[in-house]
Structure 1
Amino acid sequence: MTVLSTELPRVPYTGNADNAELANWRAVAEQLASNLAADALDRDRKNEQPFAEVRQLREAGLLNLLVPAEFGGAGAHWETAFEVVRILAAADGSISQLLAYHYINQSGIAFYAPVESQAAWWKRTVQGGWLWGDSVNPVDPDLRLTADGDGYRLNGVKRFSTGSGVGEVIVINALVEGGDYDGQILAFVLPRDIEGLEIVDDWDYLGQRLSASNSLNYHNVRLEAGDLLGFVTDEPVSTLLTPGIQLAFANFYLGIAEGALARGKQILLGRKNAWLFSQAETYSQDPIFQRTVGELKARTAAVAALAEKLGRKFDALLSKGAHVTQAERAALAVDIAEAKVVSTEVGVEVANRIFEVTGSSSTANSVGLDLYWRNVRTHSLHDPVDYKKIEVGAYFLRGESQPLSLYT
């Protein structure tokens, strides 16, 4: 078997995004969001695998946003990636989720792969134009990965495998049975068409209908040494992957709230009359409706300020690479948990209460205002937000951090 390096990970993310980088990719994301918004409701209703949407992400250059420039990528920063996720979420939650998970999965190259193999992986993802899906849902029983000669055999089932239906590759993590790495967790990268992998097109949920979050059945799938990405360890910098996805979620929920507000504003301004007991000429001039919108807008702005601050903070800590301490990692994870709490609650509240100012006519299926609520309500159940509150409280009161997991 191939012997993997035990050298500390080489994380290629350094420094912070400048205004030019942010402005450039903000413009790219806004243009794509405009395109996606035009038919988001129709595509949601069709509930088809989003191959065409992934092609748009690829053509916009967003799949390689975080790939180091030396390997053909944009060499951008996580702050920029989080903002792109936020902008796209305002238009199409499903595609925003696909991209957010892609960034996390692709970054496994930096967090898991040995130094000597990282360059090859970065080049392969750029040359192949890969979207990275995953199959790591920890609430399902672990996959069974057994050593088999110079490779491995993989069996089992994983639900909620985001991007698996459309990604060129899929990341899996599994505990090894037997062989040189018995008892260790390894990360592998599988092509979507690998023999023995059954992709079950069963994602038929309330929202996020185009996130390609299928169930996967592994039937004695053969994995070779070349499919092995690296070890999944508790090295502090490597475990920043989980706070990273949680911060992506916060930006995702924030973007949905901003999208619901923008659509609600459009509908409200289009109402030409006013409530029969109102002294105002139009609904948008009525203080009652202005108050509701003002409250929702202010809360959303507060979440935005926190999300932007944490995007910069995430990049700053990543810049320390292998020198990140466990204490620093824990502190940032709690900061991000705070953002996860307030973004979840604001996202759900805004997507729900926007109907209070748009009226009964806005509940028509043709309007599609429900798409924001369906999307944020579906994904905000990914992991119970109450546990994030406990995480924040335990750290604040006693300095206690949660055990490492794919959720904390």
Structure 2
Amino acid sequence: MTVQDTVQDTGLRRVPYYGNASETELEQWREVAQQVAGTLVQDALERDRKNQQPFAEVQLLREAGLLNLLVPAEFGGAGAHWETAFDVVRILAAADGSIAQLLAYHYINQSGIAFYAPAEAQGKWWQRTVEGGWLWGDSVNPVDPDLTLSVEGDGYRLNGAKRFSTGSGVGEVIVINALVQGGEYDGQILAFVLPRDIEGLEIVEDWDYLGQRLSASNSLKYHNVRLEAEDLLGFVTDEPVSTLLTPGIQLAFANFYLGIAEGALERGKQILLGRKNAWLFSQADTYSQDPIFQRTVGELKARTAAVAALTEKLGRKFDALLSKAGDVTQPERAALAVEIAEAKVVSTEVGVEVANRIFEVTGSSSTASSVGLDLYWRNVRTHSLHDPVDYKKIEVGAYFLRGESQPLSLYT
């Protein structure tokens, strides 16, 4: 069997996501996420400083059932909804932004089964991911297009390099998108799923950045990697429902920026309540009773609550649109993408602001390395630079003023 033989009609006649999450589902998985977050928060700072590949953290996610949260129940998964997944990411981010990112990317990468694979091939992939307990990493950074996919007999050869390949250091499999050079599908983009230990794949452990240190976002080098028919996931197309992957990951970003903000607020609250004295000019007995500090915390809390209300609404809208599967229209897709861009803008700004200004109420002693309050700022500051938020503002403004949508990409 050749790669070409496996490429059937790529029209997504169905995706395995239907309806909206029930309150029972949301409560069940929020509880699971809180338990996992409770474990992660205990040594988040220590693990961050060690800057090691997060194999143990992935196993924690696996044992909690979170890796298969979005896998259809008929294939052994939880059969949950994206609203639930976004909530899980948000909860984990309050404890450990790196692991929240890792899980968010996993959900997006794994869902390539629904968005790229032809309907008749999806069952095989869902079964394999459940049976293998796979965490899905990726190697699709679109601003680093240095992969060469060339036809060779009944398969392909892959060469080149990719930076910022989240999850690649610990994922059982890695999704790659590459432009075909030559052959029947010349000029088209194919998605493949590669095992982490495939011959010719070099994992370069060079992720040494300000924050998100445990996201396993290494560089990858491909040295004449052979791709077979069974590695093919499908075509990357501009079908509206399949392109919802991009708004999906942007909404995941908004949720883990929100989660980081909530985590910083909670940690700041603990520090503030633990201070038994007050500023020497204050009329209050303690810092937490001082109206100046109450005002600052109240402002940050209110802005965070507003972002939460927006992201929660959009999680439900995302599920509702996915339920239409192949009937999703481009205008519907564009409208939701802009709403999610709005959430990306405010979650970025609020996340960075909260993680920064929480120091105003916790004081100079909270900057001690042993306190670790800087972890929230380092994480949100690092990832919020993923794609310039100013371009999201332009995306929103162009749509509002002129009804114009940005060109399709892995950012819009």
TM-score bin, normalised by smaller chain: over 0.9
RMSD value over aligned CA atoms? 0.5
Q: Which amino acid aligns with 1:66?
A: L
**Counterparts of 1:120 and 1:50, CA distance in 2:** 28
Cα distance, 1:316 vs. partner?
Answer: 0.2
Cα distance, 1:141 vs. partner?
Answer: 2.5
* Correspondence 1:248 to 2:252: yes
- 8 A Cα contact 1:86 1:255, kept in partner: yes
Q: 2:149 maps to which residue?
A: 145
Cα distance, 1:183 vs. partner?
Answer: 1.1
Q: How does 1:48-197 map to 2 (within 5 A)?
A: 48-197=52-201
Q: How does 1:8-407 map to 2 (within 5 A)?
A: 8-9=11-12, 10-407=14-411
**Counterparts of 1:355 and 1:136, CA distance in 2:** 36
- What secondary structure sits across from 1:144 in the alignment? strand
Cα distance, 1:254 vs. partner?
Answer: 0.1
Cα distance, 1:142 vs. partner?
Answer: 3.5
Structure 1 segments of 4 or more deviating over 3 A? none
**Counterparts of 1:261 and 1:29, CA distance in 2:** 19
TM-score (norm 2): 0.99
Q: Please list every run of 5 or more consecutive structure 1 residues that lacks an aligned counterpart in the other structure.
A: none
**Counterparts of 2:280 and 2:139, CA distance in 1:** 54
Q: Over residues 119-170 of structure 1, what are the superposed CA-to-partner deviations in whole Å (9 max), with x where a residue is unaligned?
A: 0000000000000000000111231000100100000010000000000000
**Counterparts of 2:347 and 2:392, CA distance in 1:** 12
The number of aligned residues is 408
- What secondary structure sits across from 1:216 in the alignment? strand
* Correspondence 1:6 to 2:9: yes
Q: Over residues 222-244 of structure 1, what are the superposed CA-to-partner deviations in whole Å (9 max), with x where a residue is unaligned?
A: 00000000000000000000000
Q: Which amino acid aligns with 1:313?
A: K
Cα distance, 1:7 vs. partner?
Answer: 4.4
**Counterparts of 2:256 and 2:284, CA distance in 1:** 36
Cα distance, 1:259 vs. partner?
Answer: 0.2
**Counterparts of 1:94 and 1:392, CA distance in 2:** 28
TM-score (norm 1): 1.00
**Counterparts of 1:232 and 1:264, CA distance in 2:** 44
**Counterparts of 1:6 and 1:184, CA distance in 2:** 15
Cα distance, 1:325 vs. partner?
Answer: 0.1
Q: Which amino acid aligns with 1:217?
A: K
Q: Please list every run of 5 or more consecutive structure 2 residues that lacks an aligned counterpart in the other structure.
A: none
**Counterparts of 1:183 and 1:303, CA distance in 2:** 40
Cα distance, 1:377 vs. partner?
Answer: 0.1
- What secondary structure sits across from 1:354 in the alignment? helix
Cα distance, 1:115 vs. partner?
Answer: 1.0
**Counterparts of 1:108 and 1:60, CA distance in 2:** 22
**Counterparts of 1:320 and 1:76, CA distance in 2:** 17
Cα distance, 1:263 vs. partner?
Answer: 0.2
Q: Over residues 335-361 of structure 1, what are the superposed CA-to-partner deviations in whole Å (9 max), with x where a residue is unaligned?
A: 000000000000000000000000000
- What secondary structure sits across from 2:192 in the alignment? strand
